[in-house]
Amino acid sequence: MAESQAANGRMAAQAREYVRVDRVTKRFGDFVAVDDVSLSIGQGEIFCLLGGSGCGKTTLLRMLAGFETPTAGSIFIDGQDMTGIPPYERPANMMFQSYALFPHMTVAKNVAFGLEQERLARAEITQRVGEILELVRMDAYAQRKPHQLSGGQRQRVALARALVKRPKLLLLDEPLGALDKKLREKTQFELLGIQERLGVTFVVVTHDQEEAMTLATRIGVMDRGEIVQVGTPTEIYEYPTSKFVADFIGSVNMFEGRLVEDEPDHVRIDSRDLGGTVYVDHGISAAPEATVWTAIRPEKINIGRERPDGPDNVVRGVVREIAYMGDISVFLVAIDSGRMVRVSRPNIVRQAEDRISWDETVYLSWHASSPIVLTQ
């Protein structure tokens, strides 16, 4: 389902641009929160801004909502320049990280607030509030005050309050941050369902890569005010373009090395970090003898007692730690060069007869297509 949605999102992005961020910079005094960012978000997309705290993702979102004014550059929503347009006149609605529900109003009043600003008829307001509360399954709580609700319920009211205005663009600031893991996963799929039904464009800010991976059609990874990579979850995970992204998303083993063989169809990297050579089955664009970094994901490394054939892509080590996580086991292997390598293996059988254990000498190997070669 996520796959097909990602595909839909991409197609939509090509079909029609809904949000354009054009060379936007935001400074607070000397501090540059957002640094010359350009983005294009398609209609019906779920676009995630992912990054650590202080990377500028929330500032960027607040500029989309109109709570902050860009120092330079402009933002276009549906082709219209948003410069100088106050939040209350923008076609976007925001779901706040703190939910920002009005504490003196009931759930129904909170949700109706936005519609009352549009001066709709009483009857229509009542009807639309009822519909949206039903959609987020909060209709039974319409007369409660926010302080009588649980975290998950508040989150749904906040979502309903933003959605009831039928915005073309919904901005979500860490939407699931306050929920526990189980509720979070459930809500993620609920959000996807709602997005699919209403066709709203979502821009989601999050520091949680899992959240970004599940929700997003595309992810923009931010670091120190800049967008470092934009791509689908698969692209971001499997084809990161920088050490930062490779390291930030998931876990990775990174080895520094030197390019010793540079052919159009393959390259070979000599790495002292690794204590061996890495053979990669595709060409890369880098100067010969250049310093490059090889990144290999833990789940793409095989672990075994026998040394596989061939001179490349194999390294010997001793198992130092094993972490049993249920679905997978993570091995920390000290290789001969002294580095620790992280390997994860799915636990396919319930009880393996001959399981690799502590202090065993093992060989780590990987397929020639697995290493990611990074030049920056």
Partner 1 sequence: MSGSRTRQSAVSSRTRLTSGRMGPLWEWLFRIAPASWSEYVLQHWSGRAFVVAVPWLWLALFFLVPFLIVFKISFAEVRIAMPPYTPLIEWVSGQALAVKLNLANYTYLFTDDLYVSSYLYSIKVAAVSALWCLAIGYPMAWAMARSTPTWRSVLLLLVMLPSFTSFLLRVYAWVGLLKNNGPINSVLLALGVIDEPIALVQTDFAVYIAIVYSYLPFMVLPLYNNLEKHDPALLEAAADLGARPATAFLRITLPLSRDGIVAGLLLVFIPAVGEFVIPSLLGRTDQLMIGRVLSDEFFANRDWPVASAVAIVMLLLLVIPIMVFQRFQTRDLERGR
By CB under 8 A, tell whether 94 contacts partner 1.
yes
Spatial distance between the Cα atoms of 28 and 33, rounded to a whole number of angstroms:
7
- Rule CB under 8 A: is residue 244 a binding residue for partner 1? no
- Residue 375's CB: how many other CB atoms inside 10 A? 15
Q: What is the DSSP letter of 89?
A: G
In whole angstroms, give the CA distance from residue 346 to residue 303.
12
Q: In whole angstroms, give the CA distance from residue 5 to residue 219.
A: 14
Rule CB under 8 A: say whether 31 interacts with partner 1.
Answer: no
Report, in Å, the least distance between residue 191 CB and partner 1.
18
Q: Is 63 in the site for partner 1 (CB under 8 A)?
A: no
Asked if 98 contacts 53 with a C-beta cutoff of 8 angstroms, the reply is no
Q: Which is nearer to partner 1, 104 or 197 (CB)?
A: 104
Among residues 1, 4, 14, 88, which is the contact residue for partner 1, using CB under 8 A? 88
Query: Which of 375, 243, 356, 370 lies closest to 314, judged by CA?
Result: 370
Asked if residue 84 binds partner 1 (CB under 8 A), the reply is no
**Across-strand partners of 186?**
none
The nearest distance, CB 164 to partner 1, in angstroms, is 9
d(CA 376, CA 373): 9
Quick one: which of 76, 113, 244, 363 contacts partner 1 (CB under 8 A)?
Answer: 113
Whether residue 154 contacts residue 141, with contact meaning beta carbons closer than 8 Å, is answered with no
Contact set for partner 1, span 153-192 (CB under 8 A): 161-162, 165
**At closest approach, how far in Å is the CB of 100 from partner 1?**
4
Is 57 a binder of partner 1 (CB under 8 A)? no
Is residue 147 at the binding interface for partner 1, with CB under 8 A as the rule? yes
**Cα–Cα nearest to 58, from 90, 33, 92:** 33
How many whole angstroms separate alpha carbon 46 and alpha carbon 193?
12
In whole angstroms, the minimum distance from the beta carbon of 148 to partner 1 comes to 11
> In one letter, which amino acid is 83?
T
- Rounded Cα distance between 163 and 92, Å, is 10
By CB under 8 A, residue 324 contacts partner 1: no
In the complex, least distance from residue 283 CB atom to partner 1, rounded to whole angstroms: 49
Q: Which residue from 69, 80, 117, 361 is in contact with partner 1, where contact means CB under 8 A?
A: 117
Nearer to partner 1, 92 or 372 (CB): 92
121 belongs to the binding site for partner 1 (CB under 8 A): no
**Residues of this chain that bind partner 1 (CB under 8 A):** 65-67, 86-89, 92-94, 96, 98, 100-104, 113-114, 117-118, 147, 161-162, 165
